[in-house]
Amino acid sequence: MNKYTPIIGLEVHVELKTESKMFCRCSADYFGKEPNTHTCPVCLGLPGALPVPNKTAIEWCVKIALALNCKINEFSKFDRKNYFYPDLAKGYQISQYDLPFGYDGITELKSGKKMRIRRVHMEEDTGKLTHENGASLVDFNRSGLPLVEIVTEPDFHDAEDVKEYLQNLQQIVRYLDVSNADMEKGDMRLEPNISLALTTTLQDGTQEIIPVELLPNYKVEVKNINSFKFVEKAINYEVKRQTELLDKGERPAQETRGWDSVKQRTFSQRSKEDAQEYRYFPEPDIPPITHTKEQISSILKEVPELPAKKIARFEKEYGISFTDAEILSREKLLADYFEKVTSLRDHEVAKQSQQTPQAIAKWIINKKVDYATVTPEVLLKHMAAAKQTVAIDEQEFDRIAEEVFSENPQAVAACKSGKDSVIMFLVGQFMKKIGKKVDAQLVRKKLQEKL
Q: Which is nearer to Zn ion, 24 or 234 (CB)?
A: 24
Q: Could you tell me where the beta strands, DSSP code E, fall in 199-326?
A: 220-222, 255-260, 265-271, 281-282, 289-290
Segment lying near Zn ion (by CB under 5 A), choices 39-47, 218-226, 248-256, 386-394: 39-47
Q: Which residues contact 419 (CB under 8 A, 6 or more apart)?
A: none
The separation between CA 310 and the C-alpha centre of its own chain, rounded to angstroms, equals: 17
Q: Which is nearer to Zn ion, 54 or 168 (CB)?
A: 54
Separation CA 154–CA 192 (nearest Å): 10
The closest alpha carbon to 59, from 303, 384, 250, 242, belongs to 303
Report, in Å, the least distance between residue 314 CB and Zn ion. 44
Segment lying near Zn ion (by CB under 5 A), choices 42-50, 60-68, 70-78, 406-414: 42-50
Q: Which is nearer to Zn ion, 26 or 62 (CB)?
A: 26
Q: Which is nearer to Zn ion, 15 or 232 (CB)?
A: 15
Separation CA 187–CA 183 (nearest Å): 6
Using rule CB under 5 A, residue 61 touches Zn ion: no
Helix axes 423-434, 440-450, angle to 10 degrees: 120
Using rule CB under 5 A, residue 94 touches Zn ion: no
Segment lying near Zn ion (by CB under 5 A), choices 17-25, 76-84, 279-287, 386-394: 17-25
Using rule CB under 5 A, residue 28 touches Zn ion: no
Q: Which is nearer to Zn ion, 125 or 155 (CB)?
A: 125
Of 7, 8, 14, 43, the residue at the interface with Zn ion (CB under 5 A) is 43
Locate all alpha helices (DSSP H) within 68-216, ordered by sequence.
Answer: 159-175
Q: Which is nearer to Zn ion, 43 or 181 (CB)?
A: 43
DSSP of 241-310, one letter per residue? HHHHHHHTTPPPP-EEEEEETTTTEEEEEEEGGG------EE-TTS--EE--HHHHHHHHHTPPPPHHHH
The amino acid sitting at 321 is: S
3-state secondary structure of 221: strand
Q: Within a 10 A sphere around the Cβ of 124, how many other Cβ atoms?
A: 26
Q: Which helix (H) or strand (E) holds 276?
A: none
Using rule CB under 5 A, residue 57 touches Zn ion: no
Segment lying near Zn ion (by CB under 5 A), choices 26-34, 100-108, 121-129, 207-215: 26-34
Phi, psi of 103 (to 5 degrees): -155, 165
Q: Count, in order, helices (H) and strands (E) of the chain.
A: 14, 16
Report, in Å, the least distance between residue 210 CB and Zn ion. 45
Report, in Å, the least distance between residue 42 CB and Zn ion. 5
Q: Which is nearer to Zn ion, 43 or 150 (CB)?
A: 43
Report, in Å, the least distance between residue 26 CB and Zn ion. 3
Report, in Å, the least distance between residue 288 CB and Zn ion. 23
Separation CA 350–CA 281 (nearest Å): 63
Q: Which is nearer to Zn ion, 40 or 214 (CB)?
A: 40
Of 4, 40, 59, 227, the residue at the interface with Zn ion (CB under 5 A) is 40
Segment lying near Zn ion (by CB under 5 A), choices 41-49, 246-254, 269-277, 326-334: 41-49
Using rule CB under 5 A, residue 392 touches Zn ion: no
Size of the site for Zn ion (CB under 5 A): 5
Segment lying near Zn ion (by CB under 5 A), choices 36-44, 122-130, 278-286, 419-427: 36-44
Segment lying near Zn ion (by CB under 5 A), choices 20-28, 97-105, 111-119, 429-437: 20-28
Q: Are 235 and 6 spatial neighbours (Cβ–Cβ below 8 Å)? A: yes
Separation CA 450–CA 432 (nearest Å): 19
Report, in Å, the least distance between residue 141 CB and Zn ion. 9
Separation CA 260–CA 212 (nearest Å): 33
Q: Which is nearer to Zn ion, 32 or 435 (CB)?
A: 32
Report, in Å, the least distance between residue 39 CB and Zn ion. 5
Report, in Å, the least distance between residue 127 CB and Zn ion. 11
Q: Which is nearer to Zn ion, 21 or 174 (CB)?
A: 21
Q: Which residues contact 168 (CB under 8 A, 6 or more apart)?
A: 107, 109, 307, 308
The closest alpha carbon to 154, from 9, 271, 257, 251, belongs to 9
* Cα separation values, 304 from 55, 57, 69, 184, 444, Å: 20, 18, 13, 26, 44
Phi, psi of 93 (to 5 degrees): -110, 135
First-residue to last-residue Cα distance in the chain: 62
Q: Which is nearer to Zn ion, 38 or 121 (CB)?
A: 38
Of 24, 220, 289, 422, the residue at the interface with Zn ion (CB under 5 A) is 24
Using rule CB under 5 A, residue 26 touches Zn ion: yes
**Which positions touch Zn ion (CB under 5 A)?**
24, 26, 40, 42-43
